Amino acid sequence: MKSVLFVCLGNICRSPMAEVIFSHEIDRGNLNFTCDSAGTSAVHAGEKADLRMRDSAKQRGYDLESIRSRQFKQNDFEKFDYILVMDESNYRNIRDLSNRDEDLNKVFLITDYCTEEKASEVPDPYYGGENGFFEVIDILEDAIKGFISENK
Ligand code: 4NP
């Protein structure tokens, strides 16, 4: 069983969305993976996912209702085989928390697995309009399919 942790800033928009898309693919393909998500910031810890993200997800057939935000913690480096971050800023935050090469070797920018979407990061949708949330879903669906085909 391999484990994947999705990481963004607040753990209320992008990484919970990634967790649910990946869980959906695990169930659909009976894949030997587990997953979770976390934010580098604790500002939203304990909260549900952003209402706009939950609504957009629902329109695309995903359910984010049971997810609660949590902060990334040091032992996540030991617990997970892959740590997939949404943007360069997340990458820097995680790199600053890592103590060993072994930790950093697990960290990848999720958009590196895209095969169709031309995105160099998953843009932070928090301060933007509704379209940003659907864009997040489009990029994550593509990246997650790519990740699974490379690693299953
Ligand atoms: P996320 O989005 O990192 O995709 O969960 C954000 C959530 C909250 C904030 C920024 C981004 N914030 O500034 O509170």
* pLDDT one-digit tens code per residue, 41-83: 999 999 999 999 999 999 999 999 999 999 999 999 999 999 9
Distance 9 CA to ligand 1 centre (A): 5
Range 123-143 burial, b when 16+ CB lie within 10 A, else e:
ebbbeeeeebbebbbbbbbbb
Which CATH number goes with the domain that contains 10?
A: 3.40.50.2300
- Please, is 108 exposed, middle or buried when counting C-beta atoms within 10 Å of its C-beta (0-12, 13-18, 19+)? middle
14 is annotated as an active-site residue? yes
Domain count, the chain: 1
For the chain, percent of residues with pLDDT exceeding 90: 99
Asked if 107 and 95 count as a contact pair (C-beta separation under 8 A), the reply is: yes
- Which of 54, 126, 139 gets mutated to test ligand 1 (max ligand atoms within 8 A of its CB)? 126
Domain extent at residue 68: 2-151
Q: Is 140's C-beta closer than 6 angstroms to any atom of ligand 1? A: no
Token code pair at residue 70: 């949590």
- What is the average pLDDT value for the chain, to the nearest integer? 97
Distance 1 CA to ligand 1 centre (A): 30
**Model pTM?**
0.98
Asked if 135 and 123 count as a contact pair (C-beta separation under 8 A), the reply is: yes
pLDDT at residue 115, as a whole number:
98
Q: Is 16's C-beta closer than 6 angstroms to any atom of ligand 1? A: no
pLDDT at residue 152, as a whole number:
84
